[in-house]
Every structure is written in structure tokens, then in C-alpha cells.
Chain A
Amino acid sequence: MNQANSLIEERLKTNSQVVVYSSYPLSNEDIVEIKRQIPALADVQIDNQVDKKLLAGVVIKIGSLVIDQSLRTKIQKYLKHLYE
């Protein structure tokens, strides 16, 4: 399994509030897809919030752990890479 899954599994032991940020409201199929990708989230209530600044993709936040899969962060990382 991927690294994100094991980290989330670890974190869910102490913190059960999961927030998923996305650029538009997620449909049920989207949430099923996320849970398929990250089995650790299967039995967890997911709270969906909309943040237009992400442009695309999702950000999963559990306590202080952030799994960032948004277009905004990708662009920022490439920009930083270009500057250096």
C-alpha cells in the first residue's frame, strides 16, 4: 500500500476528524474513489469543504497531518524548483 495510507492509519488512532478540501463539492462517487485509494479511510466519516484556491485535486487533513494532492501546491513546487 502507499505511504499515505499507513500514515493516515497511524494518525486515526488519536484523531478521528477527517476533512477533505476540494475545489468543488465532492460527489458520492468521488468519495468512494478516495476510500478505494486509501483503505484506512473506509470506515471514517469524511467532512468535505470547498476551497476554490486549490484549483483542482484534493487535500486531506487529519489533525496536523496534511496529504496534499492539489494543483495549487504542485504549481508552487514547480515554481520554486524553477527559481532555484
Chain B
Amino acid sequence: VSRDMWQAIEDNTRRSRWLILLIGLVGILLGALVGWVILGSGGALWGLVGALVIWGALLTITFRGGERVLLFASGAREIRREDAPRLWNVVEEMTIAAALEPPPRVYLLDGYMQNAFSFGFGSGSARIVVTEGLVRRLTRDELQGVIAHEIGHIRNQDVRFMTLASVMLGGVTLIADTCRRILCLGGGRRSRAQGLQVWVVLMVLLGLCSVLAPVFAHLLYLACARRREFLADASAARFTRYPEGLASALEKISERKGVTSEESLRVLAPMYVVNPLGSNSEGWGWFRTHPPTELRIRILRSMAGAGWADYERAWHEVRDPGERGIDPALLASEASIPKRPPSERDEDGAEDFGRSGEVVAVFDRDQDRVLVECACGLRIKVPASFPRDWIHCPRCGSAHRVPQPGPDVRSMGGDGGLVYRRRSRGWETFRCECGRVNHLSPGLRVSEVRCRGCRRHIRIVSFRGDPHQEPMEPLRTGAPMARQSGALKDQSVAKQ
């Protein structure tokens, strides 16, 4: 990263401070007004103090895990390497390309909306959230572009600012909302003490402020948010050395912004790759958090190389040549970086398929579904509450025994460690001693997983050779559930 890049980051940080100060000021003034209306002339001070307290509390919450509040609000799930190795691999690649240390934590959001966002303070605890729909629809190059864009945000310290700003914005909205409630309930001490006219004027003023303050705070917020998108796009092009990836991902995402937009929170909107709430067709408008997607795609597509300077040049080509770009100093500081060719895709898109399957599995696991794999290729996901013992494959008609509760994992040795022996190279479902269903993906290459229920470590003994040739070790191994749950019952009887 060049020195000028740091310059741009510093600019960001400075702007963030101003913004947060301004939003805070709006909140405090609003608080003072509320106090004045409710308690009379002496109340302004109380209102001011009250607003300061709220502001302070919000800041404390933000710095001590505000991202968790946001995560909780959006309902995202953290994934580990063993959950989705192929998705993890893409993130890891980009982390290395961006020299980001430590790597960000990755969360998956359920739903068909296609988007990604990142948040957290500093690079230390940065989190990237991608939606299920995004991972399932994008090819590897496209996904890489989107992840690189988010990592660009983290690298440029946008993420810290965005998280802080959205929490501050929430504070102002909170105070304004309180105002409106007070208005609805009618009154305060002043209404009794003073004439009706004064009261009406004050109420109108307060009503106006409570409506305008969040709007004003929002505008300030947006003004800083838009330029960051271009910087993150440029970063993505540089990290991937393949601008087309992000361009085609943006095209895919914007062409149909998912089935539901209500899934996303308004406050989170500026953090997404593409604005999930509004249309992105044309014009800049005051309320836009993102520059028009079409413009971003055009800039990315007209890049001759993949460096900062290339992005800067493309920007001037597409937009007004006289306008200030990301940072004029960048152009001089760096030579053009050559693009890489698109990565080779396997004929049937097996890689994309596999990644998509991993992501689907993450949510199956959460719903406690048991996986029954039929030889015909169909995978049947049986809900835990399924009442019958047998199930017929609708594709080939063969019957499968539905796995019954009972541990597949055995304690071994004196330390009581749990062991599961893999029976195939495919997807596997097994039950831990605690009864919870755990899944193993085909791409899993780790020697240990943690049970989702009891959080105990389970050692995974990898599959060797054909299961038909391997002699069964009834008491020491976990039997595959689809076929052998009867055998398992026998074992437990034998044990007793």
C-alpha cells in the first residue's frame, strides 16, 4: 500500500471525527430543546445533560461490542473454516492480497437477498457478512470481487466510521422519537404554566426538529459514505487484479435486488455492496448512500490495468475529466498494474456448486435437519420431528431408514475424548453423545470439529478406502446413520 493510500485513509479518519461531532451536536441540541419544552426554561440544561448521557452510553456500547448489536439485529451466523471451506478460501485469498492482519470474521445471512457488508472497529475485529443468495449465485471470480470490496472497506477504515456513524444516527433517531412520543401524549409542565399560544409554537418547533434532526444527521452521514464506495471498488480491483469480477457481480446483484428488501435494516444500508433499499438506476440524489451502480460498473470495465492509477484514469474517462477523483496524488504515485486473466471455470461449475452446497448446509444445520443421501444423487433433508422410520426417495424410489437419535460418536481412551470415524468422502451427518446433529462437508480437511450442542471437541478420523472393504469395528466407530441405525441400537443394548 502506497503512502498516498495512507493519505486517503487519514482523510477518511479526519472526516469521520467531524461527522461524529456534528451528529452528536444535533442530538445534544435536540435534547436541550426537549428539556426546555417539558420542564420550562431551567429544563434546557437537564435536556442537554440527558442527551449527553445518552450519547455517552451509545458510544460506550459501540466501542464495547456495538458490532454485536448490529449482528444480532441482522440475524447473521458466524461461519468457521470447517463450515464452508470454499467460501473461506476466497476470503483468505483476499485477506492475504490486502495484507489484512488478523483475517476478518465471516458471517452468513439467511435469505435470497444478494448483498454483502462489513463492520467492526479497526481491522482487529472486522466482520464481513455475506448473504446466502450472494454466495449461491455468484461465480468464484465475482464472489472474490465482492469480498475484496468489503476487505477494501476494512482496509480503508471505512468500516469503523460506518459502524460508529450508524450507531450515532440511531441515537439521534432515538431522541427524536422520544420527542414525538411526548408530543403525542401532549404536554409537560410548561403547558399548564404558560399560555396556550406559546405552548403551540413550541410544540410545532419541537415537532419540526424531531422530524428534521434525523434527516439532517442522515444527510451528513450519506455525504461521507458515497466517495468511500469508489475507493473500495478501486481496492477490490487492485486486490483481485481482475476488475471484471466485481463489475459482473455488481451487474448480477443490481439486476434483481433479491426478492425482499424488508429483510435488510435501513440503518445497515450504507454498508452493503449495493444499496438494498433504493433503486440505483441514475442520478446522484441527496439520499443515496451508494453511487449509481451503473457508473461503478462502467468505471471498472474501462480500467486498462488493475492498479490505483488505472482506476483513477478510468474514473476520469467515464466521469467529468475535470472532476476530483479518489485522490489525485494516487495517479502519480503508482504505475499501472497488469490485470490477470479470468480464472478457469470447470465445465459444469462444480466449484460454484460446491460452495453453494456448503452454504445451504450451514442453514440446514441450524434447523437440525438430518441428511439422507440417496445413491441417485438426491439429498433428502429430514426435519428432526419427522414421525416415520422410513423414507422413500422420490427420484429413484429406494427406501432409506431415517436416522434415529443415538450417539455415533464414541469416547476413546482415558481422557474421554470423542471420536468420529468418517465412512465416506461425501456429506455425512452424525449425532454427538449429547444428541445434537452435526454435519461434515466433503471439502472438510480438519482433524477436529466442535459439537454444535455441547461444544466438545470431536476428533475426526478420515476415510480410508472403500467402506465395503474396511472391516467394521462396531464398538469403536460411528456408523453412518442412514443405513446402520439398527446396528447402533444393538450396540447400545450390548453395552448395557
Partners in one complex: no
